[in-house]
Amino acid sequence: MAGAVDFDLYRPAEEHELLRDSVRALAEAKIAPHAADVDERARFPQEALDALVGNDLHAVHVPEAFGGAGADALATVIVIEEVARVCASASLIPAVNKLGSLPLMLSGSPELQERYLTPLAAGRAMFSYCLSEPDAGSDAGGMKTRAVRDGDDYVLNGVKRWITNAGVSDYYTVMAVTDPEKRTRGGISAFVVEKDDAGVSFGAPEKKLGIKGSPTREVYLDNVRVPADRMIGAEGTGFATAMRTLDHTRITIAAQALGIAQGALDYAQGYVRERKQFGKPVGDFQGVQFMLADMAMKLAAARQLTYAAAARSQREDADLTFYGAAAKCFASDAAMEITTDAVQLLGGYGFTRDYPVERMMRDAKITQIYEGTNQIQRIVMARNLP
């Protein structure tokens, strides 16, 4: 047989399964009891943050050199997956902490990494990522936020939109135009902006379909003066850093989708065993069994693709761009289908807020949209066919 196949690539190691068990137990005990209230009141899941920080699970990706757990990409996926299984809003704490801080890990100076990754690892701060703007969503290169050099500083002006955990996070990785002529070809730079910097303010929380416990707000930059040493990497490298970041973090969105779908499947399975119609459990009917089989099949396929992508992220393989986009796209599409079927299996009860599957269906929808819509993911895949 030509070429060796690493079958362990698709099988988590024992320590990964132990991690899953511990995160699941924590999530069920400390996060799940508050999930419905978090959604109903659209409030930040503080109980989840406290539980994650208390168990060093809020930013497991941070290297040990900065006080973090130094978890590999698959371990990070498992943490996000297991938290999302009970509360999608809470899963955005570890996911967005990685999204916001990964540019520093990829391109930041050692001094910048030490300054910002250390408090993140210690649970004293959270990180958000500011790429999108009112007129620059899928076309991220169309951003208008400007950063103008002024002595030893840069002065930032602009508006960032759809920023997850805005107002709660202490630090923000902000992409801004430093050379309007070059744009994506060397004209965009990345900076760390602090919540308390003069000129930083936030819009009202968006009123969303799902993930209501994770605040999504605009970030306003009004003559925000940032020291030049807070630039991430060299001037003009910001867009490349942003795209490299997404190659890795789209896998965390796939992980979130896996968790939401698993939670819906688990609940639906339990329900159809107990619910009786025509004198027997609903789960005894072949039509229901086929639905469950399809749901489980889609979830298993999505998980294998996501874990394979995580392995590529860890190694920084050349085909990571394709696999990151594929995992995000496939897993989120599967999550939408699985959660919709879960609602169907519960019938009228599934359509009420007394049961969690309608929340899971609403939460699943965003995984098809953020960090690049699934239409954009298909463009990315087509341009990077392995």
| Catalytic hit among 82, 218, 358, 371 | 371
What is the distance of C-alpha 62 from the center of its chain? 15
Q: What is the DSSP string of 83-133?
A: HHTT-HHHHHHHHHHHHHHHHHHHH--HHHHHHHHHHHHHTS--EEEE--B
Query: 78-92 as b/e, with b when 16 or more CB fall inside 10 Å?
Result: bbbbbbbbbbbbbbb
| CA–CA distance, 264 with 181 (Å, rounded to integer) | 49
Q: Tokens 């995580």 appear where?
A: 310
Beta bridge partners of 217: 163
For 61, the 3-state DSSP assignment is: coil
| CA–CA distance, 246 with 102 (Å, rounded to integer) | 9
What residue type is assigned to position 207 of the chain? K
Type and span of the H or E element at 188: strand 188-194
Q: What are phi and psi of 227, to 5 degrees?
A: -55, 145
| CA–CA distance, 238 with 242 (Å, rounded to integer) | 6
Q: Is 316 a catalytic residue?
A: no
Phi-psi region of 191 (alpha: psi -120 to 50; beta: other; left: phi over 0): beta
| CA–CA distance, 220 with 266 (Å, rounded to integer) | 41
Catalytic residues, by residue number, are 371
